[in-house]
Amino acid sequence: MSQKTESTSHSTKGAYVTGGQEFTRDTNYIEDRITRDGAASGDGGPGWPVEPGRYRLVAARACPWANRTVIVRRLLGLEDVISLGQPGPTHDARSWTFDLDPGGADPVLGIERIQEAYFRRFPGYPRGITVPAIVDVPSGQVVTNDYAQITLDFSTEWAGYHRPGAPDLYPEHLREEIDAVNRRVFTEVNNGVYRCGFAGSQAAYDSAFDRLWTALDWLEERLTGQRYLVGDTITEADVRLFTTLVRFDAVYHGHFKCNRQKLSEMPMLWAYARDLFQTPGFGDTIDFVQIKQHYYLVHEDINPAGIVPRGPEPGEWLTAHNREALGGRPFGDGTAPGPVRAGEEVAAGHAAA
C-alpha cells in the first residue's frame, strides 16, 4: 500500500482551512492502483490485478469527483466488470452512508458506511473518508480513493474490458496536453470553487475569486474555436471540467459565492456544457436533487438553516447548443454508450426533463 501522509492537518471531509484562512484540499490519497500485471506497490504493499467482478466502485451521485468515475465507467462500458455502489447525497463526520439502499446497507459489501471499508484495511484510518473509492469485494477492504488516477486507469489498465466502440479518453499523442489542461482546471476551477466557498477571510476569498474567473475566462476563449478542450473528440479533460460546470449555477454561483456570472451567462462555456450534457454518458448520470441536497445540507457552516433551493430549472440543459458547427466527433472512431444500466438510472424527477 502506498499512502501519502501529511502531519500538519487532516479532515474527514478531505479539506481544511489553514491558519491564513485559505481553503486547502487534502490531496493525500491511498495511491494503490489496479493494474493489468497486478504489480505490488512501490513500498512493497499488495498488488491489485485487473479482475472482472472483483471490485466495487463506490461513488455518490452528488460528489463531482465521484461523478467523474461514473461517467468514465459508463463511456468505456465497464459496468459489467466493475459494479457500482451509490451512497446517498449527505454524510456526517464519520463518512458517506448507504441510506438509499434497502436496510441502509450496500447490497454487495453489506456495510452501512464506506468508512467500514477503510477501517477494514486501515483500522482507525486518520485521513479523509472520501468517495470515489474502489473496494475489493472479497475482503471488503478499500483499495484506493485516488480519484484522479482511478479514471486514467479505467482508460488504460482496464482497456481489455472496454465495450466495442469505447472512445479513447486518454490518447497517447494528446496526453501531455491533456495533463497540462487538467492541472490548470483542477487548481483553478475544480478546486477553485471550493477555495471561494470555504475562504476564511475576505482577502482569501478575493484572491480565490480572481483566480477562478481568470481560468473561466481562459476556458471561454479556448472553447470559442474548438468543440472540446483537447483535440476534436471527448477526452479525460472534458470529463473533469464537466462535473464542475454542471454544478455551477445550481450550487457554486450562490452557495460558494462564485457569482460574477452564471454559467448560463457565458456563451461558449454554457453551450459547451450543454453539448456534453446531451451526450450519452454525461447528463444521464446527473442527479440535480442529490447535488443540491449534498451541498446545502452538509455544509451547515455555510447554510445553517439547511434550506435547499428549488431552482434553477434543469430543463435548460436540454436546449440547443449548436456546437456541432465547430466539427469534432464526440466518440472519435467509436460509438455512444447504450442505455443506462438497469438500476443505475437517475431517479424520476431528479434529472433534466
Spell out the domain ranges in the chain: 15-161, 172-326
CA distance 154 to 35: 10
Which CATH fold would you assign to the domain 172-326?
A: Glutathione S-transferase Yfyf (Class Pi); Chain A, domain 2 (1.20.1050)
CB of 335 closer than 8 Å to CB of 280: no
Task: Give the DSSP letter of residue 159.
Answer: G
Instruction: State whether residue 191 is helix, strand or coil.
Output: coil
Write b or e for each residue in 158-190: b if 16 or more Cβ atoms lie within 10 A of its Cβ, otherwise e. beebbbeebbbbbbeebeeebeebbeebbebbb
Beta strands of 71-126 (E only): which ranges? 83-85, 91-92, 95-96
Residues in the chain: 353
pLDDT at position 4 = 41
pLDDT at position 353 = 75
Q: What are the residue ranges of helices labelled H in 45-166?
A: 64-76, 115-121, 147-156
For the annotated binding site for glutathione, the residues are 96
- Cell 501522509 belongs to 5
CA distance 102 to 71: 25
CATH of domain 15-161: 3.40.30.10
Q: How many CB atoms lie within 10 A of CB 261?
A: 17
For the annotated binding site, the residues are 96
pLDDT at position 10 = 27
Instruction: State whether residue 306 is helix, strand or coil.
Output: coil
Predicted confidence pLDDT, tens digits, the chain (353 residues) = 544 433 222 233 455 455 457 788 777 899 999 999 987 665 566 789 999 999 999 999 999 999 999 999 999 999 999 999 999 999 988 899 999 999 999 999 999 999 999 999 999 999 989 999 999 999 999 999 999 999 999 999 999 999 999 999 999 999 999 999 999 999 999 999 999 999 999 999 999 999 999 999 999 999 999 999 999 999 999 999 999 999 999 999 999 999 999 999 999 999 999 999 999 999 999 999 999 999 999 999 999 999 999 999 999 999 999 999 999 999 999 999 999 999 999 999 999 87
Give pTM, 2 decimals. 0.94
Count Cβ atoms within 10 A of the Cβ of residue 70 and give its class: 0-12 exposed, 13-18 middle, 19 or more buried.
Answer: buried
Q: How many CB atoms lie within 10 A of CB 257?
A: 16
Q: How many CB atoms lie within 10 A of CB 122?
A: 15
Tell me the helix, strand and coil percentages in the chain, rounded to 5: 40, 10, 55
Task: Give the DSSP letter of residue 341.
Answer: P
| Catalytic site positions | 63, 194
CA distance 78 to 69: 11
